[in-house]
């Protein structure tokens, strides 16, 4: 959960043409991430989606 919080905080504060609104909840030993991403261009969205593969 710490790594997820670090990545979310970095994404929401980065000045790269993207905005992130998120909430992280700890639910009975599980983690729930509710996030909304808005990118300035489709290329940024694709780069972000590819970076998510490294979390799996």
The 3-class SS string of the chain reads: CHHHHHHHHHHHHCCCCEEEEEEEEEECCEEEEEEEEEECCHHHHHHHHHHHHHHC
pLDDT at 1: 65
* Per-residue pLDDT tens digits of the chain, which is 56 residues long: 677 777 777 766 656 677 878 898 988 889 898 988 888 888 888 888 888 887 76
Q: How many domains does the chain have?
A: 1
pLDDT at 13: 62
pLDDT at 14: 58
Q: Domain containing 18: what range?
A: 2-55
pTM: 0.46
pLDDT at 43: 87
């Amino acid at each position: 959960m710490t790594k997820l919080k670090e990545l979310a905080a970095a994404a929401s504060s980065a000045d790269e043409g993207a905005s992130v609104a998120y909430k992280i909840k700890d639910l009975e030993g599980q983690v729930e991430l509710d996030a909304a991403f808005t990118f300035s261009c489709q290329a940024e969205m694709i780069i972000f989606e590819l970076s998510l593969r490294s979390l799996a």
